[in-house]
Amino acid sequence: MVWFIGLGIVAVLLLYAIVIYNALVNLKHAVSKSWSNIDVLLKQRNEELPKLVETCRQYMQFERDTLERVMAARQGAQLAQQKGDVSGIGKSESVIRSALGSITATVEAYPELAANASIQTLLSRVTALENAISDRREFYNESVNVLNVRIEQVPDVIIARMTGFQAATLLEFPAEDLRNPDIKALFQN
């Protein structure tokens, strides 16, 4: 009888460990899926940026520094994306958002540029992608947070350590991105 009770306890513990492991696997894949969603949007946006810059370049011969910042930031984001460097992507994205704000302010300062349908289409496309990236970034960070909390909680921590689960990295942005933008400075570029 003791043997059956011992075997029952071992079976229950094994089943419980399997349930925990499967939950951790689901969380890990949720993080991967949410990162893939961001990755797709970043690639789309990075494909749109050269079109926007080239269209603007036709009108803004003397605003080259703004356009060059966008392209340099785009290259930095692509490199970080290829390396899977989440913190590098966060830094590059900050520069891109700042440069896009400068382009938007510059476009608004030039009536002939603001009236150009191509630029308006590209700006609205890039803005829509920025909003989608922001939404996906929030979902990604929530998925990372849930996974990271679970792999630190008892009894999940035991299974996580035994099976090699690692904490995922949040997509964070530098402190300067958290401050309110200086709109006046954008119009002075």
Q: CATH number for the domain including 22?
A: 1.20.1440.20
Split into its structural domains, the chain has a count of 1
Contact predicate 163/155, CB 8 Å? no
Distance CA 131, CA 174 (A): 19
**pLDDT-above-90 percentage for the chain:** 35
Residue 57 Cα distances to 60, 65, 67, 71, angstroms: 5, 11, 7, 12
Distance CA 74, CA 93 (A): 8
Report residue 189's pLDDT band, with 50, 70 and 90 as the boundaries.
Answer: very low
Look up the domain containing 39 and give its range.
2-187
| Residue-wise pLDDT tens digits, 132-179 | 888 898 999 999 999 999 999 999 999 999 999 999 998 876 655 545
| Residue-wise pLDDT tens digits, 139-148 | 999 999 999 9
| Residue-wise pLDDT tens digits, 7-47 | 999 999 999 999 999 999 999 999 999 999 988 888 888 88
